[in-house]
Amino acid sequence: MILNIIWSILFLLSYEALTLYLIHMFQLNTYKPHEQILWMKKNSVNVFLKEITGLIGGIFVLFISGKIGIIMSGLVYFISLFFYLRKEKAKKPLVYTMRVKRLIFTNAVILIIAAFIGYFINLYYELLSLVYILSWFFVILSNYINSPAEYLVKRHYIKDAERIIKESENLKVIGITGSYGKTSVKFFLTTLLSGKYNVLCTPQNYNTTMGVVKTIRENLTATHEIFVCEMGARYVGDIKEICKIVNPDAGIITSIGPQHLESFGSIENVVKTKYELYDSIKDNKMIFLNFDNEYIENGRKDKNIISYGTKNGLDYFAKNIKASSKGTEFVVVHNNIETVFTTNLIGIHNVQNIVGCIAVANKFGVDMKQLVKRVKKLKPVSHRLELLEQKGNITIIDDAYNSNPNGFKAAIDTLYMFDGVKVVITPGMIELGSLEYEENKKAGKYAAEKCDYIIIVGHSQSKALSEGVKETDKFNLDNLIMVNNIQEGFKEIRKINGENIFVLIENDLPDNYN
């Protein structure tokens, strides 16, 4: 009896650790079963090594009779705990939302049912070991079991958010979407508008339907005059769903590019999805479009469009851009009137974002003189070309949040402005579908033409990046370094000689891509 209890405790602890890991990956894969299965295929060796514990434990109790088999099986589960305890700290830990708690509960009920069935048919150890092997399946099954309840919960919260928006008669909603730049634009615009209005914006990365709903239900009050709403998407229809809830009075499309192609399927679907915001804007309202982006410039123009960017002749455009490692100065032209702006932010593409925000704020009644003052107050968004001064001779340019072909190139161009040893540390770019290999190869080549050292993190895109690096004869291949993680990368950086070393952290893949 005691042996049974000890085995059950060891099994339960090991199974719980594995299940929480799988649920964590499921959360990162946005609770989409097909994305979880795709992730499992890409990480089949890693998943198999974790679930092999159940296979070995089951073999012991199947083929070694009596207490010896149970003891050896229990020992396998005991040893597995050390591997789970030794795992690296997650970059984005599992968030114990109510949905996760419901998943854990349903999964626990399935395990209890399996335990009872196994006990009554005298296959207790064997059946539980099988459950361990199929733990990935039971996480997905738990999601399907919970799906009716999840749908009802979601509908209830969405209806409540719609009610709150409808009752906020004096509230103006500004929707922001784009393949990249939308989070920076959200925070910049909020700063520019806050001098005149009481503004609420979606916090952090709350750009999904339920993130927007949560913001409305928990933060929107009767005193708010403007709601700046970031709208993210991974599938066609995602932006449309958010627009139905918030009914935007104005919209900004910051960019369109090959982002999340694995879920969108094609660049045409990306364009279609971003233009769901465009379609939701009524004809008498305003849509702000970044005409520096070719997909947008060549897109539809049948509404009240306000164009912005760095090209002459747009409704709002920047010229005479003078960028350095200390900041940027530029002139914004609107209605043939020129206004000089300065900002501590680095990166030419930040000028595009700021010009877009100036256009929106100006159309919402903030005059240019006030905007000049507020642009000076803009702060970099965390992990988006954020300049981090370090002790000693190393300066960090943190662009770790995300990466895409245009953003990668812009970040390298920013690094190139600095006078010193230029180092990029990157795992490459993901979610580019069939373009992934070629785009990473191009990125490697571009980096090699402008950087002194290239440090490639992990194995996901290492082949494509390194092939691109080798396509140019401008780079010393002795300075191409492969590491397993960013910590190893910084150990290599400390070995580099130079009076001033500038390090660009370009992207940091989430845990489900390592």
329 shares a domain with 191: yes
pLDDT of 55 reads 78
User: 272: number of CA atoms within 13 Å, CB side?
Assistant: 12
Which 3 state secondary structure label does DSSP give 400? coil
Q: Which domain holds residue 26?
A: 2-148
**Of the ranges 185-194, 254-263, 406-415, the best mean pLDDT one:** 185-194
Q: What are the DSSP calls for 346-367, one per residue? A: --HHHHHHHHHHHHHHHHTT--
Number of domains forming the structure of the chain: 3
Task: Write the pLDDT tens digit of every residue in 83-123.
Answer: 776 666 666 788 899 999 999 999 999 999 999 999 899 88
Task: Write the pLDDT tens digit of every residue in 21-54.
Answer: 899 999 988 899 988 998 888 778 777 877 787 7
Q: What is the torsion angle, in degrees rounded to the nearest 10, for the CA atoms of residue 337, residue 342, residue 346 and residue 349?
A: -10
Whether 94 contacts 24, CB under 8 Å: yes
pLDDT of 513 reads 46
pLDDT of 435 reads 85
Find the range with the poorest average confidence among 58-72, 234-248, 253-267, 472-486.
58-72
435 shares a domain with 344: no
Q: Which residue has the higher pLDDT, 66 or 341?
A: 341
Rounded to 5 degrees, what are φ and ψ at 350?
A: -70, -30
Whether 293 contacts 274, CB under 8 Å: no
Find the range with the poorest average confidence among 50-64, 70-84, 418-432.
50-64
Average pLDDT over the chain, rounded to whole? Answer: 89
Q: Is 381 domain-assigned?
A: no
Q: Is 8 domain-assigned?
A: yes
Going by C-beta distance under 8 Å and a sequence separation of 6 or more, which residues neighbour residue 240? 276, 279, 280
Q: Which position has the token pair 């879920």?
A: 263
pLDDT above 90 coverage of the chain, percent: 56
Calculate mean pLDDT across residues 481-486.
Answer: 90
- Distance linking the first and last C-alpha atoms of the chain: 42
Residue 72 has pLDDT above 70, yes or no: yes
Task: Write the pLDDT tens digit of every residue in 150-181.
Answer: 999 999 999 999 999 999 989 999 999 998 88
pLDDT of 371 reads 97
394 shares a domain with 360: no
User: Rounded distance, CA 301 to CA 267, Å?
Assistant: 19
232 shares a domain with 353: yes
Here the CATH number for the domain that contains residue 498 is: 3.90.190.20
Query: Of 348, 376, 404, at which residue does a domain stop?
Result: 376
Burial class (CB in 10 A: 0-12, 13-18, 19+), 399: buried
Q: Is 409 domain-assigned?
A: yes
Q: Is 410 domain-assigned?
A: yes
Q: Which residue has the higher pLDDT, 348 or 133?
A: 133
pTM of the model: 0.83
**What percent of the residues of the chain are helix, what percent strand, and what percent coil, each to the nearest 5?**
55, 15, 30
pLDDT of 163 reads 97
179 shares a domain with 84: no
pLDDT of 510 reads 52
Whether 242 contacts 210, CB under 8 Å: no
The one-letter amino acid code at 281 reads I
Query: Of 376, 397, 431, at which residue does a domain stop?
Result: 376
pLDDT of 512 reads 46
Here the CATH number for the domain that contains residue 286 is: 3.40.1190.10
pLDDT of 30 reads 86
How many CB atoms lie under 10 A from the CB of residue 358?
Answer: 26
Whether 331 contacts 354, CB under 8 Å: no
Residue 449 has pLDDT above 80, yes or no: yes
pLDDT of 474 reads 85
CA pseudo-torsion sign 50, 51, 57, 63: negative
pLDDT above 70 coverage of the chain, percent: 96
Calculate mean pLDDT across residues 483-508.
Answer: 88
Tokens of 276: 């769901």
57 shares a domain with 179: no
Q: What are the DSSP calls for 138-167, one per residue? A: HHHHHHHHHHHHHHHHHHHHHHHHHHHHHH
User: Rounded distance, CA 249 to CA 172, Å?
Assistant: 6
Task: Write the pLDDT tens digit of every residue in 460-478.
Answer: 888 999 999 999 888 999 9
Q: Which residue has the higher pLDDT, 473 or 363?
A: 363
Which 3 state secondary structure label does DSSP give 188? helix
173 shares a domain with 117: no
User: Rounded distance, CA 286 to CA 177, Å?
Assistant: 14
Task: Write the pLDDT tens digit of every residue in 197-253.
Answer: 999 999 987 899 999 999 999 999 999 999 999 999 989 999 999 999 999 999 999
Q: What are the DSSP calls for 237-264, one per residue? A: THHHHHHHHH--SEEEE----S-SHHHH
Calculate mean pLDDT across residues 307-325.
Answer: 91
Residue 352 has pLDDT above 70, yes or no: yes
Residue 264 has pLDDT above 90, yes or no: no
Rounded to 5 degrees, what are φ and ψ at 256?
A: -140, 130
Residue 268 has pLDDT above 60, yes or no: yes
User: Rounded distance, CA 424 to CA 359, Å?
Assistant: 34
